[in-house]
Amino acid sequence: MSRHFSLLRDTRHLQAVALGLIVLGGGLIAARSHLIPKSFGEHGPYRGDALTEISAQQPVLTSDTTCLKCHDSVRKERAESPHKDVACLHCHGNGHEHMAQAANAAADPSVTIEKAKPWDGDFFTKLDLFITKDRATCLSCHEKVVGMPAGFRSIDVKSHLADQGAENIDSPDVCFECHTGHSPGI
Amino acid sequence: MNTSHDSDGASGCGNRPATSGLNILNQGTPCGGGGSCGGVSCGGEQRSKADSRRQFLSRATSMVFGSFALTLLPMESPESTAETPLPAPPNGGAIPAPPAASVAKPVLYGFLVDTEKCIGSGKCLSACRTENHVPDGYSRTWVERYVHFKDGTVQVDLVPEAGYHESKLPIVDAALVDKAYFVPKLCNQCVDAPCNQVCPVHASFTSPEGVELIDTDRCIGCGYCVQACPYGMRYINPETNSADKCTWCYHRITKNQEPACVEACPVGARVFGRLDDPESELSKRLGAVRTQVLKEYLGTHPKLHYVGLSGEVV
């Protein structure tokens, strides 16, 4: 009937199959260890190093605590004002270069910290510090827009300036005739 | 043969044992109409058949119930068993709670957006773009304005990044408006995130703090996750050709800073904090006010909560 299996006769075939399996298995293991990143599975089914890479990115925006380390007087001015929750960078920009200079100056007293420049009207591209005695800064929040909550102090510029009897209606710093930035309430 | 069945059944069976055995095997009806086989041997086959059936049923039953019983075993990953302490005993329990220092409490971040405070100044938008180097034309966060007109229509538009001042947008006549409000949108950081589940290369992952992140090195830019996100939060970054999304500024929050948009909000409409800390401002606000999440019916369980949403907001 059928030919019986004989270990002796089929040895060469078996060897070939075994060799093939070993090569295939070894190749798969090598490919697997090569393709799967080392840190994969450290915290879960993902590359663990990705977590440290993302958290190692440096923050760009400056938080208030950094500014108030040196400018402590502003903290007192703002304490009771409606602007107490308004961060420095909302009106003054981010101050990246300013702080780099401050750090250098702390290490080496001969380094001078540059004075802030006037605002160029662009919050978006600016990472440096600027002074903003400019109505556009105020109006970026306080101009009346449909959708604002009722409790928020928003104005229609023309009628507000007329009502309050502002002197230089077209001047950029017209708001500062009555208000100050850090403590604007009246 | 049929008539002589009773009398010479035994001898007939003895004559053709092999055939009768074959009959039994092949037909499965040993005592059928043929009656070729004796009652004794047939009875024996029946018994063994019945025995094997009983055996089969009993084994099958125990296997089925046994496999059900397996599902009752506690299923816990080694990670969670290592991190989670024993369940806290009820008040007055004999077992003392483990000291806080010995067990690291897992951090869990949450977010609250107060639409009743948002003024639509758009500061969060430029802050996010600057902080995360988001290319022009793409956004990780945006602010929608819902304007409900008196004629029943609802208009939804986007807050310009530089704010409404000098934006040259058509001004909505306040006299025609019933109500209007701003809704900031950002990543919901869902507990059951659909975007995470579809990633074929494990580039989308959840950090131990519950923040959905993207491994840009592994991402192949297939865009499945972009389509899977029900909130439209993801995009393919044209500079890296990788999926990109709001990370709640993971690089800031892990340094104990607030996300850029929270830092940039002048009115405190965005609140970020730890859900695992009952003393955090977020936990207190969530406990005190009524909040909603977006598209709750999808079962994604967002960790981004909203105050003052209207039904029209999706």
**Chain B residue with minimal CA distance to A89?**
B264
Higher-pLDDT residue of A126 and B272 is B272
Place of tokens 């000291």: B99
Phi, psi for B142 (deg, rounded to 5):
-150, 165
Instruction: Identify which of A60, A86, A147 has the shortest CB distance to residue B147.
Output: A147
Q: What is the pLDDT of residue A124?
A: 55
Which of A 61-120 lie inside 8 A of B, CB atoms?
Answer: 61, 63, 85-87, 89-90, 94
Residues of B in contact with A152 (CB under 8 A): 119, 267
Q: What is the pLDDT of residue B44?
A: 54
Beta pairing partners, B235: B244
pLDDT confidence of A146, banded at 50, 70, 90?
Answer: very high
**Angstroms from A15 CA to nearest CA on chain B:** 37
pLDDT confidence of A91, banded at 50, 70, 90?
Answer: confident
CATH class of B109-307: alpha beta
Give the angle B270-B119-B184 at the CA atoms, nearest 5°. Answer: 45
Beta pairing partners, B84: none
> H helices within chain B, ranges in order?
5-15, 17-27, 39-71, 78-83, 123-132, 194-198, 224-228, 250-253, 260-264, 281-288
Give per-residue burial for A133-151: e unless 16+ CB within 10 Å, then b. bbbbbbbbbbbbbbbbbee
Q: What is the pLDDT of residues B64-111, one digit of tens each?
A: 888 877 766 655 554 444 444 444 444 444 444 444 444 567 899 999
Q: Give the ipTM.
A: 0.81
Per the CB < 8 Å rule, is B123 touching A152?
A: no
Half-sphere exposure of B173 (CA within 13 A, CB side): 4
Phi, psi for B14 (deg, rounded to 5):
-65, -30
Instruction: Map out the domains of chain B as residue ranges.
Output: 5-71, 109-307
And the tokens for B272? 């970020």
Pairing of strands B212-214, B235-237: unpaired
Q: What is the pLDDT of residue B176?
A: 94
Instruction: Map out the domains of chain A as residue ranges.
Output: 57-132, 134-181
**Angstroms from A134 CA to nearest CA on chain B:** 13
Contact A94, A62 (CB under 8 A): yes
Q: Which is nearest to B172 in space by CA: A75, A83, A147, A73?
A: A147
Q: What is the pLDDT of residues B178-224, one digit of tens each?
A: 999 999 999 999 999 999 999 999 999 999 999 999 999 999 999 99
Instruction: Identify which of B119, B171, B266 has the shortest CB distance to residue A85.
Output: B266
Contact A88, A116 (CB under 8 A): no
Residues of B in contact with A90 (CB under 8 A): 123, 264, 266
Which of A 15-34 lie inside 8 A of B, CB atoms?
Answer: none
